[in-house]
Structure 1
Amino acid sequence: MTDDGMTPSAMPAWDGPERYTVVSADCHGGGEINEYRAYLPSRLHEEFDAWVRHYEVPYPDLLGDAGKRNWDSDRRLRDLEDDGVVAEVIYPNTVPPFFPKASLTDQPPAANAGDLKLRWEGLKAHNRWMADFCAKTPGRRAGIVQVMLHDLDAAIEEIRWAKEAGLTGGLLLPGTPPGSGLVELWNYEHYKPLWQAAEELGIPVNHHTGSAAPPIGDTLTDKVVFLTEVSWWAHRAFTHLIVSGTMDKHPELQFVFTEQGTAWIPEECRRLDYYWHRMGTAVGSQEYEWGHELVASMELKPSEYWARQCHVGASFQRPAEAALRYAVGVDRVMWGSDYPHKEASHPFSREALQLTYNGIDPAEVAAMVGGNAAKLYGFDLDFLAPIAAEVGPEVAKVWQPLRPEDVPKGAAKCPAFVGVPGVQP
C-alpha cells in the first residue's frame, strides 16, 4: 500500500534500469575461529592454540551450515544474489580470538592489561581477515574496521592501516556504556585525535546498536530488558556527538546509525531542537542557565547536523518508517537486510522491499535501497549495474503492493513484516 493506505496509481515516469541496484548497508560476517590463527603474530600462536582448545561457540547460529554464511565467500555471494542484493557493508559477527563474546555487542573491561592486549590482537586479526574476505569479491563488499577505545593512538594507527588495506566501510565506533571504564563520547578533547584522523581519511564513522548498552546478566528478565532498551542506548551517541561539538568542529565527518530503527530520528531531532531553542532564548529558565553557552558556540541546531552529517542504516525497514522518509531525509536512508542474523529479511528481501517501498517514486527507492550507500561507501554503481540487471528486484514489481498470498512462509522472523495480516498482530 502507499503512504496513505491507498492502492498506488500508475508508476511515475522512470528512465532508470528495469531492476534496482540493491546495496545492503547492514550485513554481518567474520572468520571461522581457526581461520584467525594465520592473522595473529606468530608469537601468539601457542597462546591461541591453548585458548581455542577450550573455546565453545556461544551462539547457535555460528554453528553448522548457518555459521558458514559468515565466512564462506561463494555461499554468501549466492545467498545475497538470490535475495536481490548485489553489494554489502559488512559489520562483525563472529567471535574474535581471546574474546568471550562477539565484539560487536560486547567489549567487556579487561581482567588485566595482558588480557586487553590479547583482545586487541584478536580484533586486528579480524580486520586483516576482513580485508582478505572483501578482496575475494572486488567492488562488492565494504568491510568495517574494528577498534578499541582504550588506546587511541593504536586505534588511529589501525584505521590508517584499514584505509590502505581497502576496508571501505570505515570505522566501527564502539559504545562507551556506563561501567566500561571508557571515556564518554561527549568528551571532545579526549577523542579529538580520532575525529581528526577519520575526517582526514574521509571515512564514515558507523555506530551499530548493541555496543552502547551496559553489561547484562543471563536471566530471562535481563535479556528482555536488553531487547527493549538496546536501541535507546545506541541513540544516545547522536546526542553525545552533537553536544560534544564533534559534528560542529568536523563538518566533513559522516556518521551512520545502524540497526537502530528509523522512526526515532524525526522525534529525536524535534526534541533536541526544542531544547536548543529553550537553551538559546528562554532567559531566566534552567535550560538557558545551563545550556546557552554551549548552544551559542554551535553553528547549527540538531536537526541540521542530522541533515548535513548523519545517515541511518535502515535494517529491514518497515512501511511506516518509509512513510517518514522526508522527515528523515530520502538521501539519508540506507536499507539493509541484516544478513545472516535470525531477524534478517533474507531470504525474503524481495518481498520485504515490495512491502515497504510499493507506491513510492522509483527514484527515491533507488536512492534508499542502494544509491545512498553506494555514494557513502564508494561502491561503483556502473560496475554493479550488470549484476543488478540479472538479479536485482524489478522496479515495476516493487511498485505494486505485496499481496497477502505472496507473503512468504516464515516472514514473521523479520520485523519488516510486523503488522502484515496473517504474519503478526
Structure 2
Amino acid sequence: MSNTMPMGTRVKLSAMMFLQFMILPVWFIPMFPYITKMAPEGSVLPLLCGMIMGFGALASPIFGMFADRLMNSEKVLALCNFVAAALLAYAYTVKTPAALFVTLLLVMVFYMPTWSLTATIAMANSTTEAFPQIRVFGTLGWVAAAIFSIVGTKLFGIAQFDSTPYIFAGGAIAAVMGGVLAFFLPPTQPPAKGQKVSLADALGLRALVLLKRPDFLVFSVLILLAMVPFQWYNVYNSTYLKERGYEYLTGVMNLGQVLELVFMLLIPVILKKVGYKWAMVLGLLALVFRYGMLYLGASSGIQVGDYAGILIHGLIFGMLIVGSQMYVDAAAPAELRGQAQGFIGLIMFSLGTFLSNFVFDAVLKKSVVAETGAHVWTTPYLIALAISLALAVLMAVAFKPAVQGKKHG
C-alpha cells in the first residue's frame, strides 16, 4: 500500500467503491421474484440463478492475471463494467428463462472479478488505515441502490419496479457509471508487465504458488471453511425471517449493512491492536454470537435474538472478508497481488458459496415440517454455531500469519 494519499485520490477511490457495490443490488436482490414469475412452475431456473454469483467468481483469478501482467487494473475494471452494462441492457429485452439465465451468468463472469479488482486498485493507492474508510463507501452504495426502485416508481410511474425487467436497465446504468469513473482512477500499472505469460498465468492460476507457504495454505483453507456458515446467512436468512413473519425483509436485512458502516471504520484500530490472526478469530467468534442469537430467536420467538444476529454482520464482514483482502495484499508478492486477490475472491464468493449450499441444503431438507413446508431452524443454527466455534479455535491455534496487521499500520 502507499504511505500517503492525496484527498483527490481518496475521493475517486471512495466513489469507485460506492458505484461498484451499487451495481449488484439494483438487480440481483429483486431478481428472484421476477425470475419466479417468468419461469414455469417447477423450473430449476430460480435455483440456477441463485448460483450465478459463485459461477461468476470463478473468473476472478483470470481477470487478476490481466491486472498483474497485461493491463492497468483500472482499465480492466472499465472493461468489465462496460461489458456487464451491455449484457444487463440485453437482459432487459430477454423474454425466455433459458436465455435470461445465460445472459445473467455472463454478467456475473464480468462483474464478480470487479470486487477483487477494486480491492487491488484501492490498496495500491491508499494506506492501511485508509482502506477500510474507502471500502465503507461500498456499503453505502449497496444501501443506496434502493434509489433506482424509488426513482422508477415515483418519478417514472413504473408499478412494482422490483418485479419488472427495469431492474436490469437500472443495473446497466450503474455499470456504465462505474465504467466511466474507472478512466479517472489513479493509474495502477501491472507489476509483472513484460514477463513471460505461461498457461498458468493465462488461467489466473499463478497465485496457487502461494499455497506452498504454510501460512497462506492454512489461511486459505480456514477462510474457505468459514464461508460455510458465513454464506449460509446471506442465502437463507431472508427465508428464516419470512417464516418468522417479518414483512420488510430487505429493510430488516439491511440493518446489518447500516451498522457495518461503524464496524468498517474500526478495522484499522483492531488490526493495530491484535494483528490479522486475532482479528479473524474475532470475526469467527462474532459468527458464533450471530448463530447463538438466531438460535435464541428461533427457539423462543424473541425478536431481539434475530436483530442481534443481523446487527453483528458488519463485524463479521469486516474481520473475515475485508480482513482477508488486506492480509492477501500484505502477504502476496507485488507481481501476484491481482491474481492473489482474485484467488481469495474465488474462495470466498465461489467455492465457499458452493460448499455452504451443499452443506446446508442437506441440513435444511431434514428440517422441513411436512405439514406446512416451513423449517425448524434450531438445528441448522446450532450446526452453524458449532462450525464457527471450531473454526475460531483452529484459526487461533493453526494460523501463523507471515505479516502482522499492527506492523503495517
TM superposition score category, shorter chain reference: under 0.3
Greater relative CO, 1 or 2 (CA 8 Å, sep 6+): 2
- TM-score, structure 2 length as denominator? 0.25
Structure whose alpha-carbon radius of gyration is higher: 1
More helix by share: 2
More strand by share: 1
